Amino acid sequence: MQSWRIRLALLLLATAHFAALGAGFLAPYDYDDQHRDYPYAPPMRLHLQGVRPVVYGLESQGGEYRENSDQKYPLRFLTGRRLFGVDEPGVYFVLGTDGYGRDVLSRLLYGGRISLLTGLLAATLSLAIGWILGTIAGFFGGLADQILMRISEFFMALPWLYLLLAVRAFLPLHMDPVGAFVLLIAIIGGVGWVRPARLIRGVVLSGKERSFVLAARGFGGGAVYLIRRHILPLTIGVTLTQATILIPQYILAEVGLSFLGLGVGEPAPSWGNMLAEARQYHALVLHPWLLAPGAAAIPVLFAYLLLADTTLEMSQNPRQLR
Amino acid sequence: MADTLLEVRGVRKSFGDTAALRATDLELRRGAALGIVGGSGSGKSTLARCIARFERPDAGQVRIGGRTDYGHTDVQLIFQEAAASLNPRFTAEEVVAEPLLIQRRGTAHERGKAARKWIETVGLRADSAPKRALSFSGGERQRLAIARALILEPSLLILDESLSGLDLLLQAQITALLLDLRKRLGLTLILISHDLALAARIGDEIAVMDQGAVVEWAPSSDLIARPAHPRSAELAAASEWLSLRSALA
Amino acid sequence: MKFAARRLAHAALLLLAVSFAAFAFAQLAPGDYYSDLRVDSRISPETLEGLRQQAGLHRPFLARYGAWLGSAARGDFGYSLAYSGPVAPLLKERIRNTLLLTGVATAVAWFLAVPIGIWSATRRGVVEAALKVVLAVLLIVPDLLLAILLLVFAVETGWFPAGGMNSPDFASMSAAGRLRDTAWRLVLPVSVLVAGMLPVLVRHVRASMAETLDAPFVLAARAHGISPSRRLFRHVLPVAANPLIGLAGLSLGTLLSASLLVEVVMGWPGLGPLLVDAILSRDIAVVLAAVVLSAGFLIAGNAAADLALYRVDPRIRAR
């Protein structure tokens, strides 16, 4: 019954990630290809010449853009290492350009790579740390548990975004894109392990009291065996649910940080720093296509929401294991 | 003494301020069946757990086969709610073979064979081995728990209230199984229960415990007919089945 | 009362620990406000060192922490090197603005969520299904995007001022005029925050109501002939309110985080923009103060929720 929701969600996610990972192939331009003659160009349409799709020439007149139907540039496929494009001096901006004349679609795809991957990798980091610490605290109890509780209280004493910014504040402001990418993953992931840890700790705590664990202990099972064979399967449900909640949250964290200028910086695109152009909202009124990253995020967030709901339902009905 | 298997000498155990077990002595011959009865808090479960190495006694010694350093092949304990002591995700074969796996005995193939053999021994079909534990009934899971306990071939099997809470038909079936296994394998059994009649059916002798010590020890029929200690008399009266029987006698 | 004392002591200790950690972390940070100035070749190293000494940046760690803590307790959060003025007055104003924004947003959100939640707990049908869809949409659209869209809307229609808390001629307005001005400017930011909070709140209210309505004591009340409205207010709501108090405490952190972003985007002069600007200009004193204060709010808010829960729920008292 819920399977159509899962399938839809997975389809959306697969499409988004495939598009982002394949940016190098799918995007018609490089992310820092500037077309000085065409700042803030609007999205361009395809026209049909017979059965072949063509793009008209783009002309700018004092800030306004017009199509020149006398200049036709046929759409070419598999040019060089790109899926599609038009020959020079023609241009094809599917979603228009930004203030520097850079193709929004291309930057959207390349930017998606950063934003989506940051979310995924940071969530993996949080879950890994959270799982390890939560399992140790829950299983061995005692001092380890006390320490975990105190530390987690401490982390939860700050509002999440303030905590993120606090950590970010004391690190170098300007970094190269790769460094910034790694840094973001480390910060976002390293700061958000607390909730998964507590949840997993809870599951492990109640799990280790179950009689089949006690029985296995009675046969001489050691901690590693018990955790691996009996406790770990119990934690899968909660870990999955946490993943579906954390990943979108972390994607938005990257977007937020980059938007504020504290994440990935120019010229590398991320959905966040692309939206930063929108801070000049007067410009936005005239050039709404700059909001494309925001629109692109929505189906991704929706997909994760669907997954979250279904994994939550599934974990509340454990007997319905397929 | 002909072939003593179990010796308990002066075993004491307290939890915090509560003395659960006060200096207790016990002796059991190989192949015998003993029922330990008592009310809640009488210390019978604590005694069982001390013997089975789930608890460490504060004082005293437990010897099995003459040794204090006995192990998992010497004694096995089956819990109350044995059915819940199976991981529902495991297959029957995995459940029964688990002790071998933990003790690293044999190859995977050998373990599987042994598991299937024991599954049959407790009265289940060998071809049900790949089914998930979840899909077995309560009584069948009870049998699986027994098979699992026996796969390490212990000399002594302790059942801690394992038959309480089963419906009477199931109780009768499992009791028959245990008696049969005892005969075939020469098992030594201890059944812990609050039900005197049940203990009497399985055990040749009965030990009555109250407030952490053994207060009476007699052959089953003697104890039921002429309970010496007030506690024993109470337990006999509390057992409906026994009251019925004596009413009919 | 013992519980209250313990809880407050716990909160105070936690805040102290956070402030210590923040201070320590700040000291570990490579460079300080003056490091970036080093790049400027017009400023000699000696001048830089002199400035540093003046700002007291050369003393040992614990001494500095102690000094900072002492001043903070008196309300003095040091000196903002970027604003060239004491931090405290800046903070006071910004905190007030953030509290105003989040306070109004919380009030509006709960004011809407409770009736909607109660209503939808007892109905099925098309309207209720449509409601679920609307709430789901609100849940999915990121705050950032919504804020930007509302700004665009404001600019396009001109109905709302786009950004800022006060009009240029604020000072010359009457009291009523000022109230109207602020209220008008609150609409957009509050809308974004409420849109973010509403789905979660409604879901919890609805769940809590549904669960309570199913409880045996409600059925008993009905069997006793108690009228529906009396049942609702005297019997159902007090019990259903219980988990919601806990929720209020938990969602405070999320609200503050959301508010940060909204303040920055919509130009609301709260704690958020202050922190962000301070980070970008390496103004450590301000960053420290803003971070510790945000923790202070959250800790205080949670403590308040715990205390309220303690008073309301006798079961906790029994423990």
DSSP string, A24-60: HHH-SS-TT---TT-TTPPP---EEETTEEEEEEEEE
C–B contact: 3+ Cβ pairs < 8 A: no
pLDDT (tens digit per residue) in A29-42: 988 889 888 888 88
Interchain pair C142, A158: CB under 8 A: no
C93 assigned to some structural domain = no
Residues from chain C that touch A161, judged by Cβ atoms under 8 A, are: 256-258, 260-261
CB contact under 8 A, A212 and B84: yes
Question: Once rounded to an integer, what is the mean pLDDT over residues C90-111?
Answer: 91
Contacts of C265 in chain A (CB under 8 A): 279
Q: Provide the pLDDT for residue B246.
A: 66
Instruction: Let me know: does A102 contact A32? Beta carbons within 8 Å.
Output: yes
Better-scored residue on pLDDT, A14 or C65: A14
Measure CB to CB from residue B102 to each of A221, A233, A319 and give the nearest one: A221
Whether residue B44 is predicted with pLDDT greater than 80 in this model: the reply is: yes
Q: Which residues of B114-243 form beta strands (DSSP E)?
A: 156-160, 188-193, 205-210, 213-219
Note whether residue B66 is domain-resident: yes
Mean pLDDT rounded to a whole number for chain C: 81
User: B87 vs A218: CB contact, 8 Å cut-off?
Assistant: no
Best residue in A208, A211, A227, A234 for a mutation probing chain B (most B CBs within 10 Å): A211
Please report the pLDDT score of residue A320 as a whole number.
42
**Residues B166 and B149 reside in one and the same domain:** no
Measured CA to CA, the distance from residue C139 to residue C203 in angstroms comes to 11
- Do C112 and C20 lie in one domain? The reply is no
Structural domain boundaries, residue B200: 1-74+157-170+184-249
> How large is the angle between the packed helices A3-21 and A292-316, nearest 10 degrees?
140
Phi and psi at A243, nearest 5°, equal: -60, -45
Distance from CA of A138 to the nearest CA of C (A): 23
B52 plus B121 within the same structural domain = no
Q: Does residue B241 share a domain with residue B118?
A: no
Torsion, Cα of B218, B220, B223, B224 (10° steps): 180
**Of C28, C58, C87, the domain-final residue:** C87
Contact A42, A96 (CB under 8 A): yes
Q: Identity (one letter) of the amino acid at B91? A: T
Q: What is the structure's pLDDT at B64?
A: 87
Q: For chain B, list the contacting chains (3+ Cβ pairs, <8 Å).
A: A
Q: Write the residue in C162, C257, C278 that is nearest to A162 by C-beta.
A: C257
What is the rounded CA–CA span in Å between residue A154 and residue B171? 54
- Give how many domains chain B has, as a whole number: 2
Domain co-membership, B161 together with B239: yes
What distance in Å separates residue A312's CA from the closest CA in chain C?
A: 14
Domain that holds residue C283: 98-318
Q: Alpha helices of C160-319 — where are they, by DSSP H?
A: 175-214, 216-223, 228-230, 237-266, 271-280, 284-312, 314-318
Same domain assignment for residues B116 and B197: no
What's the token pair of residue C26? 């700040």
Residue A314 CA, chain-centre distance (Å), reads 24
Q: Dihedral of CA A112/A115/A120/A121: which sign? A: positive
User: What's the rounded mean pLDDT across residues B27-48?
Assistant: 87
The tokens describing A118, both together, are: 């940051």
Look at A219 and B102 and tell me if their CB atoms are within 8 Å. Answer: yes
- Establish if C305 touches chain A: CB-CB under 8 angstroms: no
What digits encode the pLDDT tens for the residues B50-69? 888 888 888 888 888 888 88
- C-chain CB neighbours of A168 within 8 Å are 279
B99 neighbourhood in chain A, CB within 8 Å: 219-220
Put simply, whether C144 touches A (Cβ < 8 Å) is: yes
| Cβ–Cβ below 8 Å for C142 and A173 | no
Measure C75 CA to nearest chain A CA, in Å.
20
pLDDT of residue B170: 82
Residues C51-68 have a mean pLDDT of: 69
Which of C151, C257, C290 is the closest to A160 by Cβ? Answer: C257
- Closest by Cα among B119, B170, B125, B110 to B146: B119
Give the pair of three-digit tokens for residue C25.
């972390």
DSSP string, C45-61: HHHHHHHHHHTTTTS-H
User: Closest partner residue to A225 among B72, B102, B152, by Cβ?
Assistant: B102
The answer to whether residue C150 sits within a structural domain is: yes
pLDDT recorded at residue C316: 63
Do A219 and B86 lie within an 8 Å CB cutoff?
A: no
Same domain assignment for residues C61 and C105: no
Q: Are residues C169 and C37 in the same domain?
A: no
Residues of A in contact with B84 (CB under 8 A): 210-212
Q: Which residue has the higher pLDDT, C59 or C300?
A: C300
Distance from CA of B102 to the nearest CA of A (A): 6
Residue B159 to residue B173: CA distance in whole angstroms? 15
Q: Are residues B15 and B32 in the same domain?
A: yes
Same domain assignment for residues B68 and B114: no
A154 CB neighbours in chain C (<8 A) are 14, 17-18, 21
Which segment of B36-45, B78-87, B239-248 scores lowest on mean pLDDT? Answer: B239-248
pLDDT beyond 80 at B1: no
Across the interface, whether the CB atoms of C254 and A288 are under 8 A apart is answered: no
- Do C66 and C107 fall within a single domain? no
Give the C-alpha separation, B104 to B97, whole Å.
10
Confidence of residue C43 (pLDDT cuts 50, 70, 90): low
**Res. B96: pLDDT tops 90:** yes
Residue identified by tokens 């709501």 is C237
C172/C244 same-domain check: yes
- Looking at the fold, whether C78 and C105 belong to one and the same domain comes out as no
CA gap B230, A205 in Å, rounded:
43
Q: For chain A, how many residues are written? A: 322
The pLDDT of residue A201 is: 95
Contact assessment for residue C252 and residue C200, using Cβ atoms and an 8 Å cutoff: no
> A151, A153, A165, A199: which to substitute to probe chain C, counting the most C Cβ within 10 Å?
A165
Predicted confidence at residue B79, as pLDDT, reads: 83
Interface of A with B (CB under 8 A): 210-212, 214-216, 218-221, 225, 230, 233, 319, 321
Query: CB contact, 8 Å: B154 with chain A?
Result: no
- Out of A11-25, B8-22, B145-159, least confident range: B8-22
User: For residues B231 and C231, which has the higher predicted lDDT (pLDDT)?
Assistant: B231
Mean pLDDT of all residues in B193-206? 86
Give the dihedral sign, CA C157/C130/A309/A160.
positive
Which residues of chain A neighbour C282 with C-beta distances below 8 Å? 173
Residue C34 lies in a domain: yes
- How confident is the prediction along chain A (322 residues), in pLDDT tens digits per residue? 568 888 999 999 999 999 999 988 899 898 888 988 888 888 988 888 888 888 888 888 877 888 888 888 888 888 878 888 888 888 888 898 888 889 999 999 999 999 999 999 999 999 999 999 999 999 998 899 999 999 999 999 999 999 999 998 888 877 888 888 999 999 999 999 999 999 999 999 999 988 899 889 888 888 999 999 999 999 998 999 999 999 999 999 999 999 998 988 888 899 998 998 877 766 777 888 888 999 999 999 999 999 988 888 776 665 444 3
Partners of residue A292 in chain C, C-beta under 8 Å: none
- Mean pLDDT value across residues B127-139: 88
Q: Which helix (H) or strand (E) holds A184?
A: helix A177-191
ipTM: 0.85
Any idea what the CATH number is for the domain that residue B224 is in?
3.40.50.300
Residues B190, B161 share a domain: yes
Please tell me which of the candidates B77, B87, B102 has its beta carbon nearest to residue A212.
Answer: B87
Mean pLDDT in residue range C26-47: 62
**Number of domains present in the structure of chain C:** 2
DSSP reduced 3-state for C146:
helix
Report CB contact under 8 Å: B85, A221.
no
Q: Are residues C70 and C179 in the same domain?
A: no
C52 confidence band (pLDDT: 50, 70, 90): low
Task: Report, as an integer, the average pLDDT of C291-319.
Answer: 82
Instruction: Single out the residue of C191, C160, C259, C181 nearest to residue A281, CA to CA.
Output: C160
B29 pairs with which residues across the strands? B4
Q: Over the stretch C155-168, which tens digit does the pLDDT of each residue have?
A: 778 777 776 777 66
Whether the CB of B70 is below 8 Å from some CB of chain A: the reply is no
* Closest by CA position to A130, among listed A204, A199, A62: A199
Phi first, then psi: give them for residue B227, nearest 5 degrees: -65, 125
**Do C6 and C26 share a domain, yes or no?**
yes
- pLDDT at A321 (0 to 100): 41
Closest CA in chain C for residue A155: C18
Listed residue (C2, C86, C82) closest to C36, CA to CA:
C82
Residues with Cβ within 8 Å of C122's Cβ and at least 6 positions away in sequence, in order, are C209, C213
Asked if residue C180 and residue C57 are part of one domain, the reply reads: no
The residue ranking higher by pLDDT, C40 or B112, is B112
Contact flag C280-A261 (C-beta cutoff 8 Å):
yes
In a domain, C120, yes or no: yes
pLDDT in tens, C184-214: 888 999 999 999 999 989 988 888 888 887 7
SS3 content of chain C, % helix, strand, coil (to 5): 80, 0, 20
Chain B CB contacts of A317 below 8 Å: none
- What CA–CA distance (Å, rounded) separates C305 from B62? 55
The pLDDT > 90 percentage for chain B reads 17
Residues 6+ apart with CB under 8 A from B173: B139
What token pair was written down for A158?
A: 């700050």
Asked if B89 has any chain A CB less than 8 Å from its own CB, the reply is yes
| Residue C59 pLDDT | 67
Q: What is the pLDDT of residue C85?
A: 77
Q: What are the distances in angstroms from CA A255 to CA A85, A275, C144, C145, C282?
A: 29, 8, 9, 10, 22
- Chain C residues closer than 8 Å to A284 by CB: 148, 151-152, 155
In one-letter notation, the amino acid at residue A254 is: E
B242 falls in which pLDDT band (50, 70, 90)? Answer: low
Q: Are residues B105 and B65 in the same domain?
A: no
Residue C5 identity (one-letter amino acid): A
Confidence of residue C74 (pLDDT cuts 50, 70, 90): confident
